[in-house]
Amino acid sequence: MTTTGSDLGGPRSLGDALAEARSNWGWFVALGVGLILCGLLAAFNLLAATLASMLVVAVAMIAGGVLNVVAAFRARSWGRFALWLAAGLLYLLSGVLVIANPLLASAVLTLFAAAALFVSGALRIWVGLSARPHEGWGWIVFAGALSAVAGVVIATGWPVNSLWVIGLFLALDLLTHGWAYVALGLALRSRPL
């Protein structure tokens, strides 16, 4: 027996799902406004946003470490007990170190972000140039160049900028997601049934 969306209490079709989303347009706008306010709060205190981000990373690492240690003891018969246990303990130790020194952690993460931006930008430039005869290749090269330049700018300001770069990324992420939800909610509201 197969179940449909209506059997599970959900929408039966794409039209039903769109109608349900349209009826909740205000919640999308409210979520967007909340995210924008959080993004503005982060933007006005980038150091606090950076430290808060490091705390979230530390908690996630500690939780991942605990789960890996539990998995190691549950999977002793797999023959990889030592590897799972070592990975879990490394995650735990890393999370504790991030909590102990979040500024050092933000410096390391900022340097990794700079390297990642540069490498991904260089790869996008290469992909764009490889696709040169096709339409739109210039936009790929342009986006890659922006990423590579951002990586270089962040790397040249390191380690001083590690006090605010992660917070800036968080603020920008919250702001862009907030605007996207507001735009989605308003588009749903103005769309006729």
For the stretch 64-85, pLDDT in tens is 999 989 888 887 666 678 888 8
Q: Which contiguous run of DSSP H or E holds residue 158?
A: none
Across the chain, mean pLDDT equals: 87
Note whether residue 106 is domain-resident.
yes
* pLDDT band per the 50, 70, 90 thresholds, residue 8: low
Note whether residue 75 is domain-resident.
yes
pLDDT at 134 over 90: no
Note whether residue 11 is domain-resident.
no
Which residues form the domain of 78? 28-183
pLDDT at 99 over 90: yes
Query: What region does 140 belong to: left with phi over 0, alpha with psi -120 to 50, or beta?
Result: alpha
pLDDT of amino acid 19: 77
* pLDDT band per the 50, 70, 90 thresholds, residue 142: very high
pLDDT of amino acid 82: 80
What total of structural domains would you count in the chain?
1
Note whether residue 191 is domain-resident.
no
pLDDT at 6 over 80: no
Percent of the chain with pLDDT over 70: 91
Percent of the chain with pLDDT over 90: 63
pLDDT of amino acid 74: 81
Note whether residue 20 is domain-resident.
no
Note whether residue 190 is domain-resident.
no
Note whether residue 172 is domain-resident.
yes
